[in-house]
Structure 1
Amino acid sequence: MDISGFNTLLTRIVTAFNPTQYDTLVALKKRQAILYFIQMTALIFVVALLLMIPNLFSVPEMIHNEFSKFERLEIDVNYSQVEPINLPQYNPVITIDTTPSPEKTLSGFLLITDRSLYYRLTPFTKGDRIALEEENTTGIGNIVVSLLILALPTLLVLTYLYTLLKYSIIICIVAVVSFILARVARFGLELPQTFKIALFASTPMITLALLTKPYVPSLGYLEYLVYLIFFILGCIKIGDFEEVAKPKERER
């Protein structure tokens, strides 16, 4: 996305907070509306991640505190292999080496042997060892932190896709149900219009839900209430009640 495209996205996000201007948004093509939804969600998702950065520093301490609740924690690993297993094969992240060889190389971030676990948070550190026969909950907590860091990119992508899917389902349901109700009430709205209104009205909902996540774990139904308010106002702006044709009087 170039600068002009980014400016256009920001302009449409601001417009989505003003239902009186939804006619300009509904005039967009369906492909443009869907692309807006994907980009808008991605942008707000990234901003929410930036707001969460201060909270990330407390995650290791939280994990250590939770694992300290174990009175006893033992791990029994028993492997027999001919040569080390590298995952992936080149530039490995995890290595499993239970061979009799006394030389064990920590190539990636985690090395599992028959008696120990070696881990490091960055490729620039030497690494730490945890003996598997020891009851070391602090060490296990460190491993969990390391694994979370390794899995972070995948977790972020899955979370973003989940967010897209969640709000896409809400948008589709609201668009279809509102179109049916509009037909029953003889309110002049077509399905493509209700779909676009539902899509753009999701902007305040997604903004509220994601940007408050670092501070408020759950808003309850508040985000959906905000969504319905913007959606209804958008429908009022775009649609209108159809005139009912009066039957002609019979000639006497």
Structure 2
Amino acid sequence: MEKKGFFSNLGMAFNPFKYERVHETHGWSIFRYFLLLVLFGFLICTVLFIPVLYGDVSSQIGNFKELKINITQSMKSPVYLPSANPRWVIDTREKHVNPAGENLLMTEDDFYVKKPFFLGTEKFDSGDFKDLMENQGMLITLILLMLPSVMLMFYLYYLLKTLVVLFLVSVLALVITRIAKFDISFNDMMKVALWAVTPMVIVDFVRFPFGLFLFYGQYVLFLLFFVIGIVRAGDFETDEGRHVSKKVKHKKSRFD
């Protein structure tokens, strides 16, 4: 089995008429390519999204004519959210509290936000929230500090969602090919799907920062590449039995 690099897999993914070479390519090589593809797409999406978000926040804050916050409160004990392993803590009984492992800590005078990826904690004066219009920079900074954590969750969600979709589509395709007596293994079908999803991933990550809606065109691209790839990688069975000319190597049950 051949182990292709990222760019070799990328070039192959954009040419579904050569997907018969899936039999020559190691399955883990294609899976690593898919993980890197989503990671690179996520990084590009983040770079494109930051200036868009900055501009949106700056312009949207202008929609407030006046916003004043005046809260009178007293606490008998801190508030922990969630109660077990709290990530948000509100304790206005103390003026100065050193944050521990919380993502967010509010005291009487200060507001602490934990930066992602072990980059420390950012401290804000709670008084800055009293007039939002005069502290746009502080609010924008707060949102941008939270952005990496939000984007990381989006990356993991997108990765898992795409893998589930590929698995379900491959299972459905396997049922159809068995009914049609079209010979292709499930492992090869999954490898074809991991290649065929390339245009969809790229389109998704480019369109997301700008809020573009393509009427599900990215899914049409995936299905087009997937169907062409299945046809190229498999073959119809004959009356004497299964063809083996293109598929001797893909009858193994393991992912290779």
TM-score (norm 1): 0.71
Gaps of 5+ in 2: 81-87, 242-256
Query: Retained in 1: the 8 A contact 2:75–2:91?
Result: no
Of 78, 82, 91, the residue aligned with 2:73 is 78
Q: How does 1:30-41 map to 2 (within 5 A)?
A: 30-41=27-38
Aligned CA distance change for structure 1 residues 14 and 49 (closer, same or farther; 3 Å): farther
Query: Retained in 2: the 8 A contact 1:48–1:214?
Result: yes
Aligned CA distance change for structure 1 residues 26 and 97 (closer, same or farther; 3 Å): farther
TM-score (norm 2): 0.70
CA distance in 2, matches of 1:119, 1:141: 17
Of 163, 172, 175, the residue aligned with 1:177 is 172
Amino acid at match of 2:234: G
CA distance in 2, matches of 1:206, 1:31: 19
Query: Retained in 2: the 8 A contact 1:119–1:129?
Result: no
CA distance in 2, matches of 1:197, 1:61: 44
User: Who is 1:249 aligned against?
Assistant: none
User: Who is 1:225 aligned against?
Assistant: 220
* Number of aligned residue pairs: 224
Aligned CA distance change for structure 1 residues 82 and 195 (closer, same or farther; 3 Å): closer
CA distance in 2, matches of 1:243, 1:201: 27
Percent identity of paired positions between Structure 1 and Structure 2 = 24
Amino acid at match of 2:16: P
User: Who is 2:41 aligned against?
Assistant: 44
Query: Retained in 1: the 8 A contact 2:19–2:232?
Result: yes
Q: Secondary structure at the match of 1:213?
A: helix
Residue 196, structure 1, aligned to residue 178, structure 2: no
Amino acid at match of 1:231: F
Of 11, 14, 27, the residue aligned with 2:11 is 14
Deviations 1:5-40 (A, max 9, x none): 9x9202211210001222334432332222221111
User: Who is 1:88 aligned against?
Assistant: none
Gaps of 5+ in 1: 86-92, 247-252
Aligned CA distance change for structure 1 residues 126 and 168 (closer, same or farther; 3 Å): closer
Query: Retained in 2: the 8 A contact 1:172–1:195?
Result: yes
Amino acid at match of 1:41: V
Query: Retained in 2: the 8 A contact 1:118–1:130?
Result: no
Residue 215, structure 1, aligned to residue 215, structure 2: no
Amino acid at match of 2:55: S
* Of 39-48 and 73-82, the range deviating more from structure 2: 73-82
CA distance in 1, matches of 2:134, 2:236: 67
Aligned CA distance change for structure 1 residues 145 and 51 (closer, same or farther; 3 Å): closer
Deviations 1:69-125 (A, max 9, x none): 7x6654526344799x9xxxxxxx9995533x6xx58999987443x556899x9x9
Bigger RCO of structures 1 and 2 (CA < 8 A, at least 6 apart): 2
Amino acid at match of 2:147: L
User: Who is 1:243 aligned against?
Assistant: 238
Using the TM superposition, give the Cα deviation of residue 153 of structure 1 relative to its aligned residue in structure 2, in angstroms.
2.3
